[in-house]
Amino acid sequence: MQDIRGSDLPTPAALAYLGDAVHGLLVREMLVARGYAQAGRLHEAAAAYVTAQAQAVQAERILPLLTGSEADLYRRAYNSGHLNRPRHVAVADYRAATGWEAVLGALWYLGETDRARKLFSRATEEQSEPEEKAGASDGGEI
C-alpha cells in the first residue's frame, strides 16, 4: 500500500470532496446489489448512509482499522479549519464525516480501491436500512 502522507497528494479538503463522491458511489452500488430497484426507494435508502450523522457512525467503526498514515489523514481532515457544514449538523459529526471521506478519497486517488471497499464494507455492515426493498411485485423490474 502506498503512503497516503505524500506531499504529492491533494489537500485533505480535496480528498474529502473526492471521497464524498466515492462514498456515494459505494452506497449506490451496495444498495443495487442488495436488490433495491426503484429510484425512489434507492434514494430513500441511500439517504440513510450519506448523512454526516451516518458517516460519523461509520467513521467510528473504521477508526480502529486505519493504518498510521490513514489515521493521520483522518485527523488532518477532521481538524481542517474551514468547514461549510449545514446548520442542522453537529460540528463533531461533520468533522468525522469529512475525515472519513478524506480517507476514502485518498485511497481511491491512489488506486487502493480494494482497501477503500473493505473499509466501506466494515463501516456499513451493521447499519440498518429502511425495511422495504424494491422487488418484482412492486413494479421494480426493467
Give the pLDDT score at 36: 87
Which CATH class for the 12-127 domain?
mainly alpha
What integer pLDDT is reported at residue 142 of this predicted model? 31
**What is this structure's pTM?**
0.83
Task: Tell me the C-alpha distance between 5 and 36, whole Å.
Answer: 38
Catalytic entry in 3, 8, 20, 93: 20
Which segments of the chain have a pLDDT < 70? 1-7, 82-83, 85, 127-142
> What's the pLDDT at 141?
35
Domain range summary for the chain, segments of one domain joined by + = 12-127
pLDDT in the model for residue 131: 52
pLDDT at 122: 96
Active site residue 138: no
Name the CA radius of gyration of the chain, rounded. Answer: 16
